[in-house]
Amino acid sequence: MAKNEDGEFELILGNRQLLSVFFIVVVLLGVFFTMGYIVGRNSSPITPAEAVAARKEGKPVVIDPPTPRESPKPPPPWARMWK
């Protein structure tokens, strides 16, 4: 590679190299999107139909208990002043 007068290297890319880099980036983004989709789909809670099927096969069924609903919090003291 030739240096310019400032002592820096220049990198010149043609159309073929630019398109190759673009398609490689698109493929990598597609792979990461697909991996995220698969992980998200597999992390969903078990459905009742899946629980019945698992019981018939003799597999243990683990169902996450529902989270309790919190009671509404009272408004802060400064909010009561403006009523």
Largest CA distance in the chain: 77
Among 35, 61, 67, residue whose Cα is nearest residue 47: 61
Predicted local confidence at residue 62, as pLDDT: 65
What is the DSSP secondary structure assignment for residue 13, as one 8-state letter?
A: -
Q: How far apart are CA 62 and CA 54, in angstroms?
A: 10
Q: Digits of tens for pLDDT over the chain (83 positions)?
A: 667 778 788 888 899 999 999 999 999 999 999 999 998 887 766 667 776 777 777 776 666 666 677 777 777 777 766 65
Structure tokens at 41: 């789909």
Structure tokens at 35: 């991996």
What number of CA atoms fall less than 13 Å from residue 44's CA on the CB side? 10
